[in-house]
Structure 1
């Protein structure tokens, strides 16, 4: 008897998480990627250009019907993640996707797996200084409510800050984590706007993908899961030490940055330095403020990793090693030096 592979409709396939999901799922599933602008261009998948605002995702009626008959599950990882976008665009786009895919999941009578963020656990209060980041988290909170209220079978997964592969640190594109930590490695950050004991929760991309693979393979079609380090998350001081070790490996020497309260930097120091700092330095510092404002947490985030069987991969030591690999991969890609033989001291 011949069994066909189950078919997954995946959005966001050209993104960091989407690429990792394809690596995890391609062997066991047929993957159809819905893209917006950027082609996925991976021989392991098929793809089509779609539109969340269209009632049949931009497909004609016959193709949409064929898609609903073919697909066995929907995985929605696409989202506007750039905080530099207009807040209205972030909110509109990040709600349009879940609405459209919930409709498709209902028409196909299949489950929807929705990627949110673990930082819905700490919704921002006054986001006036960083409206893009605040709107991004709010868009995920609102989208989760849409998913939760829908009659379709749904699973919500909430990764924290996604870092590179545990194997070699590789990822398809660098995000805010690397912009911020790269500045520390290069010795360009004199101040770190948080407490040294603050938690910076990161989770490697291949672990996020492995969790989704487990949920799909075991036909878990309902629930909400936190993909975070929880109490094993690294402290800001741990990450600073790691950045300085990697900087030394690259031959970069600089005075260590100081930890200061973020309020002091945002309200006092940055306005004074605006005339003295060049525009690129101002932009980097604001990125640093925005990152720490959103992603530092005084208490551990909730985590489902042990419940899902991934506890041994999410220890402080394993996460420190994974972060080191991710930073060394970033350094190699940027041509900063030969780091492939380096190890954490």
Structure 2
């Protein structure tokens, strides 16, 4: 029996690599990629562009690809915090419209990878760059998907960490900036209290959840791939990063203080205007904005129990996964370091 053909976007990203590991055994994967080659023998690659009406394949190439496709998994997104609002919307909204058009012509289910960050309250102010502009683009993309009238599934992963068992990840993410800042002692203050939930889920757990939806033939619904009530707190994240530093004989001299955002705004940030060089001030403000994106006011809804995967996101397993992510950061950035006996 031949394998179903899946058209996958974002294959070179962190989740894209995890999707390949999860789905390659029982799917023929066609990766539509932009500049970076996937370079995986299990994947057929097509160079293209999401911002082009025909995905950079030409009208005939677009039709040929639609004829071959049995299911679409659209996980590509522009996430660079330095990207402009126009660039983010072109890739994340217009690109989604073009992928929906292919799924419509192929008459196949469309699985859209959004982000749990859309749960954050949206400001009336339109931010031109940074995390808020990215979230705006994903909110708009979700609306395009819902309004399409097609068989669509929306999945919303929270902050993605490395592999649950090894901590391995193809490229370091914003979460690793938090880990590195704690281990190296480069940021004196983290803008949240110790009990603030930090919702993060390992990449392989997210990929398995999406794999279950695809294999079940799910064609509709919205699924929160989040830790929910099992989330770590910021205090626990800092503790695990510090324990990793101790394991490798590099405990920081000055661990960061955890300070609620309102206190940071009132007491620390005003002092920075006079006491810190402009470049460092901008870097710190960018870090604060990143941290704010990671935080949620309360625990989010989670669909893992519905998918039969509650055990995979138990609190103990998530603590262990964060520890492994911290270890992997150290061994990747400082390969000369070995765990202290």
TM-score range, shorter chain: over 0.9
Tell me the TM-score normalised to structure 2 length: 0.93
Residue number in structure 2 paired with 1:21: 19
- CA pair 93-60 structure 1, distance change in 2 beyond 3 A: closer
Tell me the TM-score normalised to structure 1 length: 0.92
CA distance in 1, matches of 2:194, 2:288: 15
Report deviation, 1:34. Answer: 0.6
CA distance in 1, matches of 2:142, 2:52: 21
- Is 1:312 paired with 2:311? yes
- CA pair 7-340 structure 1, distance change in 2 beyond 3 A: farther
CA distance in 2, matches of 1:228, 1:291: 18
What is the aligned counterpart of 2:181 among 180, 183, 200? 183
Report deviation, 1:38. Answer: 1.3
Residue number in structure 1 paired with 2:327: 328
- CA pair 334-278 structure 1, distance change in 2 beyond 3 A: farther
CA distance in 1, matches of 2:203, 2:318: 12
CA distance in 2, matches of 1:98, 1:128: 21
**Counterpart mapping for 1:231-250 below 5 A:** 231-250=229-248
Residue number in structure 2 paired with 1:227: 225
For structure 1, the residue ranges without an aligned partner over 5 or more in a row are none
After TM superposition, the structure 1 stretch with the greater mean CA deviation from structure 2, 259-268 or 238-247, is 259-268
Residue number in structure 1 paired with 2:254: 255
Residue number in structure 1 paired with 2:167: 169
What's the secondary structure of 2:130's corresponding residue?
Answer: helix
- CA pair 90-229 structure 1, distance change in 2 beyond 3 A: same
- CA pair 54-288 structure 1, distance change in 2 beyond 3 A: closer
Residue number in structure 1 paired with 2:116: 118
- CA pair 174-101 structure 1, distance change in 2 beyond 3 A: same
CA distance in 2, matches of 1:276, 1:289: 17
- CA pair 124-321 structure 1, distance change in 2 beyond 3 A: same
For structure 2, the residue ranges without an aligned partner over 5 or more in a row are none
Q: Is the 8 A contact 2:183 2:252 kept in 1?
A: no
**Counterpart mapping for 1:287-298 below 5 A:** 287-298=286-297
Q: Is the 8 A contact 1:229 1:303 kept in 2?
A: yes
Residue number in structure 2 paired with 1:34: 32
What is the aligned counterpart of 1:71 among 69, 72, 80? 69
CA distance in 2, matches of 1:31, 1:279: 47
Residue number in structure 2 paired with 1:52: 50
- CA pair 125-313 structure 1, distance change in 2 beyond 3 A: same
Report deviation, 1:88. Answer: 2.2
Q: Is the 8 A contact 1:74 1:111 kept in 2?
A: yes
After TM superposition, the structure 1 stretch with the greater mean CA deviation from structure 2, 8-17 or 118-127, is 118-127
Q: How many residues align?
A: 340
RMSD: 2.0
